[in-house]
């Protein structure tokens, strides 16, 4: 079994910064892609940023230049540094990982429980 635990959400004023962190634990052989998604009220969940094990990254157009994703492969962690936050960034942010477990050769998609980010005007 694999778990993702997020931390770092909260309330911040527009223009401020927050850093989200996510740690994976459990029966992990390796992790392929790690990423962050978000879901605002009344909207579908959307990709914010993702990073593969080799370090290549992909960002949503709306956050490019403001958010930075990074990972520590040895620690199985992923972080999202969010700068110049806007009210429209308000959402529940979910950590996501593609995990190869010790008991299977199939990649398991795992989600965290979500952490709320609220950006006030």
pLDDT, tens only, 26-85: 999 999 999 999 999 999 999 999 999 889 999 999 999 999 999 999 999 999 999 999
Output the CA angle 51-53-59, nearest 5 degrees: 10
**How does residue 16 score in pLDDT terms, banded at 50, 70 and 90?**
very high
The Cα–Cα gap between 65 and 79 comes to: 16
The Cα–Cα gap between 96 and 111 comes to: 5
């Amino acid at each position: 079994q694999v778990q993702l635990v997020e931390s770092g959400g909260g309330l911040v004023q527009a223009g401020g910064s927050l850093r989200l962190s996510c740690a994976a634990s459990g029966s992990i052989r390796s992790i392929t892609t790690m990423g962050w998604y978000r879901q605002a009220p009344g909207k579908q969940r959307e990709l914010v940023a993702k990073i593969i094990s080799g370090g290549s990254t992909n960002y949503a157009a709306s956050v490019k230049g403001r958010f930075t994703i990074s990972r520590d492969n040895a620690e199985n962690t992923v972080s999202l540094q969010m700068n110049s936050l806007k009210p429209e960034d308000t959402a529940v942010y979910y950590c996501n990982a593609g995990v190869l477990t010790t008991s299977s050769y199939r990649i398991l998609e795992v989600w965290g429980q979500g952490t709320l980010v609220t950006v006030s005007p």
